[in-house]
Amino acid sequence: MTATLKAAQATLRALGLTLRRTGYGPELRVNFRGGREATACYTDNLDDALGTGREMARERDAATAATGQPVVSQFERRLSTHVSRRRVTRLILKADARCARLRAALRPSWPFEPTLTRI
């Protein structure tokens, strides 16, 4: 069964996987969407990549059926309100610190503040 790259990509995309060329000759990479490098599989054969992808999807579905909970990638997890507020607060504090450093750098070096007067 010889498939084209586009057809194999469409088949694996429907299963929740990605198929990409690595750029190193005919090497192909199969992985879950948003998956880490540890879950990636590499091959030189398109039919092997398609079979590997189907097997990966089958194993994932078996794990989902065994635990009763879907396997969720790190990027699909929703942050709790506490964590998201903490991240936004950190970003604001970092921005304030940058502004303070910039203001300090732009302050005049002489000891008095210049004032504008109308003539």
Mind listing the pLDDT tens digit of every residue in the chain (119 residues)?
557 899 999 999 999 999 999 888 889 999 998 888 888 999 999 999 999 999 999 988 888 887 777 666 555 556 677 777 777 788 788 788 777 777 777 666 555 555 666 65
Element (H, E) at 119: none
Q: 71 and 60 in contact (C-beta within 8 Å)?
A: yes
pLDDT for position 66: 79
Residues 6+ apart with CB under 8 A from 1: 47, 50
- pTM recorded for the entire structure: 0.56
Cβ atoms < 10 Å from Cβ of 65: 8
Q: For the chain, which residues make up each domain, given as ranges? A: 5-67, 79-105
pLDDT for position 73: 55
Alpha-carbon span 59 to 40, nearest angstrom? 14
